[in-house]
Amino acid sequence: MRRSRPRPRLALAGALLLSLLCATAALAQDAAAEPAPSDLESMDLEQLTNLKVEKVYGVSKFEQVVTEAPASVTVITSDEIRRYGWRTMADVLNATRGFFTTYDRNYSYIGTRGFNRPGDYNTRLLLLVDGHRINDAIYESAAIGTEFILDMALIDRIEIIRGPSSSLYGAGAFFGVINVISKSAKQIDGVEVGGGWGSQQTGSGRITYGKLFNGGELVVSGSGYSSRGNDRLFFPAFNDPATNNGIASNMDRERSYSLFLSGHLQDLTLTGALVSRDKRVPTASFGTIFNDPRTNSNDRRSFLDLRYDKAIDGTGVTARLFYDEYRFTGNFAYDKTGDDPVFYPATYVNRDDHLARWWGAELQASRQLLPRLQLTGGMMFRDNFQIDLPNYDLVPGGRRLDNSHDNLFYALFGQAELRILETLILNAGIRYDHYETFGGATSPRLALIYTPVEGTVFKLVYGQAFRAPNAYELYYNDVFNGYATSPTLRPETVRSYEAIYEQYYGDVVRTSASLFYNQIDHLISYQDVSPTQVAFANVERVKAVGGEFEIEGQWNSGFAARSSYGFVAARDRETDHSLDYSPRHLVKLNLTAPLYLKKVFAGIELQGVSRREFTHNGAQVASPGYLVTNATLSSTALLPGLEASFSIYNLLDRRLQDPATTDHVQSLIPQDGRTYRFLFSYRF
């Protein structure tokens, strides 16, 4: 395997973008006519502190100022989602420091800090909505595409928390946590209808109701989405008359709908959500028939969550009771082979019909025990009482493989935040999880936060985390006996060391720099175990060393800018080879400028990802690096209650390709060229 080489042009582009941001920031400072120091006393608190007053909940499970949180955190607001035209959580992550995604024309996969592993369904990041865990109980997948459970218009803010967080959240919080907070009834205040349409015959609609009433509030929303997709996708690997000359026609279609409910009465909050999404699969993955519309997938995810929040004699108590379901139906069209029963037709469909149901409870208490000491502790358990992984052929009397399991686990966790000095905070936490499948796992986190002068913050963070092997990795097989089950898998573990420096210049500009080192053991990877079988196994030991730098500013004029550069070298510790699918360089630039009375905004973003090398079916290949540009024009309250935006994605119509896993014949998956979307909402 060849080693990856740095991409100096992309690194230079990152430096130029950072320089551009600094220069633009200076011009904006002049244009905004910032008040003189003598006038600052007349500004309100929100204007005066701007970025500093940002608070987060997900880092420590209690609200704290972001500068005191024991992690590097990015907060994405609803204004940013609207002004940059972000359609999915994948769009948000692509614009966020240190993250990138890969799209195989079915699902989007998260990459961060050098990792985007084949066969991984986003299992190393924990996704929460209003504190409820969204990762499912079969694949432990964090859904970030159109199958995400919450409409983007319902998001108030997103907390993106970097680094191991198993000390509070347990399995899955391996590289970080994404905590999504929905909008309140006060923010909606009435009936809101929305819709959109765009290229590829894409349309969407939404109706939302939010209202405060005596002692409580209610939010109800329903959304629908449909897209024809790219109706002529060309795959050179299938360029043959027998396979439609490599053109997948009308094979990129998808549709989805979602429902959301949030009701609050005194100390109780009931939240429920459902999403169902159908998608045709145009890539002929897993050896299916090329250009056959019978190959498709359906994901259906739902939950109910009842939460109790109460301050009792100075102690904040949170209790949670929840019930969840996840169903995946995958249809795979195959040609008959000599190994199939003689009575089978020439072509047939094989189906995965996976279903998981689980329930659980969590109790947490937080108290300021001494003037300088805050303690948080709790316990939780989850009962995965139904995990069905059947696979069968849709042929009368055809083969069938039933595959049912159940398991439960419990956890205890605690955290202490000690303010040693006014300028020095020690944060320490630990959690113990116990699983029926492999036993126990202990996850500590230790952080020092030092603020020598106002506006300067240093953080040193050490953390350990684990990822439990999921049901798919442990038990999955099919009627072809193509998978070897792996019931003795051990959890992956990571030890992480990170140094963070944050600097606030006045109340407008912030810079952040971090260096990190991750050491991963027992990495679960997808591998061939025989000429006809694959399996998951604990086969790799990996290290990743990297750094990230970001500068951002927000001005009272409405101008905002953020730019970042990230570098990472991820290597296999046994062979010292670079890790497959891992870009060394990431560059991001986001600019927002008011065009008219702070009611019309222009937003532009640039996203750069360097070359990604990988081994595909025995050959060394690479997906080219790229720099893509998106642009959005948005308006707020030009007419009372009306919001609208128009976005162009891949503005320069670049040819983009993402790497494919070994489940595909082709090594590269083409991405969309230039597309557009118009979106509007009206509040009554």
- Give the pLDDT band of residue 119 (cuts 50, 70, 90): low
| Burial of 311 per CB tally in 10 Å (0-12, 13-18, 19+) | exposed
Angle at alpha carbon of residue 58, lines to 267 and 211, rounded to 5°: 40
- Give the pLDDT band of residue 120 (cuts 50, 70, 90): confident
Any idea which residue has 């030991």 for tokens?
A: 541
Please say if the pLDDT value at position 22 is more than 90: no
Please say if the pLDDT value at position 469 is more than 70: yes
Please say if the pLDDT value at position 517 is more than 50: yes
What CATH topology corresponds to 8-683? Maltoporin; Chain A (2.40.170)
Angle at alpha carbon of residue 56, lines to 52 and 59, rounded to 5°: 125
Tell me which H or E stretch contains 410.
strand 404-421
Looking at residue 141, what DSSP letter applies?
-
What proportion of the chain, given as a percentage, has pLDDT over 70? 92
Give the pLDDT confidence of 533-577 residue by residue, as tens digits: 888 999 889 999 999 999 999 999 999 999 999 999 999 998 888
Please say if the pLDDT value at position 311 is more than 80: yes
Query: Which residues fall within 8 angstroms of residue 16, CB to CB, at 6 or more apart?
Result: none
What does DSSP say about strands 126-129 and 176-182: parallel, antiparallel, or unpaired? parallel
Please say if the pLDDT value at position 402 is more than 80: yes
Residue 36: predicted pLDDT: 35
Angle at alpha carbon of residue 73, lines to 649 and 448, rounded to 5°: 160
What does DSSP say about strands 509-530 and 400-401: parallel, antiparallel, or unpaired? unpaired
What proportion of the chain, given as a percentage, has pLDDT over 90? 82
Residue 3: predicted pLDDT: 32
DSSP 3-state of 505: strand
Report which of 90, 98, 101 is spatially closest to residue 587, judged by C-alpha positions. Answer: 98
Please say if the pLDDT value at position 72 is more than 90: yes
Domain extents in the chain: 8-683
Compute and round to an integer the Cα radius of gyration of the chain. Answer: 25
Residue 5: predicted pLDDT: 34
Mean pLDDT over 11-35 rounds to: 39
d(CA 442, CA 466): 8
- Give the pLDDT band of residue 35 (cuts 50, 70, 90): very low
Average pLDDT, the chain: 91
Please say if the pLDDT value at position 374 is more than 90: yes
Please say if the pLDDT value at position 267 is more than 70: yes
Residue 48: predicted pLDDT: 31
Please say if the pLDDT value at position 61 is more than 70: yes
Using alpha carbons, list the distances in angstroms from residue 631 to 16, 91, 557, 601, 649: 20, 13, 20, 11, 7
Higher pLDDT, 213 or 359: 359
Cβ pair 311, 366 in contact under 8 A: no
Angle at alpha carbon of residue 672, lines to 81 and 618, rounded to 5°: 115
Mean pLDDT over 76-92 rounds to: 97
Residue 445: predicted pLDDT: 97
Exposure b/e, 579-615, CB count within 10 A at least 16 = b: bbbbbbbbbbbbbbbbeeeeebbebbbbbbbbbbbbb
Q: Residues 48, 52, 56, 59: what is their CA dihedral angle, to the nearest 10 degrees?
A: -170
Please say if the pLDDT value at position 34 is more than 60: no
Mean pLDDT over 144-161 rounds to: 97
Residue 10: predicted pLDDT: 41
- Sheet harboring 132-133: ordered strands across? 73-77, 155-162, 176-182, 126-129, 132-133
Residue 55: predicted pLDDT: 87
Query: Which residues fall within 8 angstroms of residue 241, CB to CB, at 6 or more apart?
Result: none
Cβ pair 249, 228 in contact under 8 A: no
| Burial of 619 per CB tally in 10 Å (0-12, 13-18, 19+) | exposed
Q: Residues 659, 663, 667, 669: what is their CA dihedral angle, to the nearest 10 degrees?
A: -60
Residue 638: predicted pLDDT: 86
Please say if the pLDDT value at position 175 is more than 60: yes
What's the 3-state SS for 422-486? Answer: CCEEEEEEEEEEEECCCEEEEEEEEEEEECCCCCEEEEEEEEEEEECCCHHHHHCCCCCCCEECC
d(CA 465, CA 173): 7
Residue 126: predicted pLDDT: 97
Residue 32: predicted pLDDT: 37
Mean pLDDT over 129-152 rounds to: 97
Please say if the pLDDT value at position 44 is more than 50: no
Q: Residues 133, 136, 142, 145: what is their CA dihedral angle, to the nearest 10 degrees?
A: -110
d(CA 115, CA 216): 43
Cβ pair 410, 383 in contact under 8 A: no
Give the pLDDT confidence of 636-670 residue by residue, as tens digits: 988 899 999 999 999 999 999 999 988 899 999 99
Please say if the pLDDT value at position 496 is more than 70: yes
